[in-house]
Structure 1
């Protein structure tokens, strides 16, 4: 489990996060939603240690991540898998090499062991046999799946996903959502997804946090979101559905 307590983050005079507290539980798809500039990605970066919070604490299974030094954080970072918004694959590396990259950095496994793991991960994301392709030879959806394969290569306890459906068509987006949900349940990872996609929210949102102006404005499940009387959340949901419907008509 990950717990954040009273997280604030300011960049100079710009206060992006204002007292966020939440728990992200294992085996659940924990979604962070909100409009542009609401603080979603900043919160994610604070949780994984890419940003240091201005105030507040972050706990991984009861261990205070915030007070740890670089070396102390290494064991936790080895348990983290992350899928970036643009997949962040290395263009000069093959699919196989991209997936093995974390294994090369953090393990003492033999090449054969790392190759076995890469093959397993590729098969798990339905890309068996695509080892020798380069990112330039992949579709957007395939790049996302390779990114997921790399994220799970270290068998993480914690999986962080930033806008997984950005740039994807609705059908491929559903496939990516289903894959994330399957992996979360199968491995009981603590999965945290930043998204603005209402299809994702309604499809896999076990636990949802809605941010508004840097504050936690609403918290609940996808079953509860349709019945909320929170005006700002309703505005966000309506606008998101309207925009999605408009895109599908184009």
Structure 2
């Protein structure tokens, strides 16, 4: 479980986060949504330590992450998997070496054990046998799946996904959503997803945080989002769905 308590973040005079408090539970996909500039990516970066909050606390299973120094945070960071917006694969490395990268960095496992783990996660993301391919030989959807395989190679307790469907066609987007949701439930991972994709929200949105102007404006499930009377949320949902419809017609 991750607890965020009264998080504030400023960049100069610009207050981006204005006292965000939320809980993120194991085995649940939590989606953070909001318009550009609402603070959703900044919140995620504060949660993983890429930014330091100006106020507030982040707890990982009761451990005060914000009060730790760099060395003390290493143990928690080993428990975190990250899926980046652009997959962030190393072009010069094969699929196998990309997935093995965190194992090489953070474990003293032998090559055989690492290879077994690579094969396990490749099979889990339906890419068995693709070990020797390079990123340039993969489709966008396949690269995302390799990114997921690398993110779960260390058996993380926490998984963060930044716009996981960015640049994907609708079929691949659904596949990635379903894969992340299945892995979350299967391994009881605490999963946090930043997204603007309403199809993802309505597909796997077990828990949804809507940020507006740096504040937590609404919280609920995908079932509740369709019946809310929250004006700003309804405007966001309508505008997002309209944009998705226009893009599909191009």
Q: CA deviation at 1:22?
A: 0.2
Corresponding position: 1:31 with 2:61: no
Q: Look up the match of 1:7.
A: 7
Shift, 1:249, TM fit: 1.9
> What is the deviation of 1:12?
0.8
Cα deviations across residues 95-145 of structure 1 (Å, max 9, x unaligned)?
000000000000010001000000111110001111111111111111100
Give the SS at the match of 2:210.
strand
Separation of aligned partners in 1, 2:5 and 2:11: 19
The separation in 2 between residues aligned to 1:155 and 1:15, in whole angstroms, is 35
Q: Structure 1 CA distance, aligned partners of 2:119 and 2:50?
A: 30
Unaligned runs of 5+ in 2: none
**Structure 1 segment 173-188 matched on structure 2, within 5 A:** 173-188=173-188
Specify the alignment match of 2:200 in structure 1.
200
**Structural mapping, 1:60-75, within 5 Å:** 60-75=60-75
Alignment of 1:73-152 (within 5 A): 73-152=73-152
Structure 1 stretches of 4+ with a deviation exceeding 4 A read none
Aligned residues: 250
Secondary structure, aligned partner of 1:131: coil
1:227-246 deviation per Cα after TM superposition (whole angstroms, max 9, x unaligned)? 00011100010011111112
Secondary structure of the structure 1 residue equivalent to 2:67: coil
Match of 2:42 in 1: 42
| Secondary structure in 1 matching 2:66 | coil
Instruction: In structure 1, list runs of 5 or more residues that go unmatched.
Output: none
In structure 1, the residue corresponding to 2:117 is in which secondary structure? Answer: helix
- TM-score, with normalisation over the residues of structure 1? 0.99
Secondary structure of the residue aligned to 1:144 is helix
Match of 2:156, SS state, is coil
Q: CA deviation at 1:71?
A: 1.2
> In 2, Cα distance between the equivalents of 1:245 and 1:146?
29
Pairwise mapping of residues 228-243 of structure 1 onto structure 2 (< 5 A)?
228-243=228-243
Aligned to 1:66, the other structure's residue is in SS state: helix
- 1:20 Cα offset (Å): 0.3
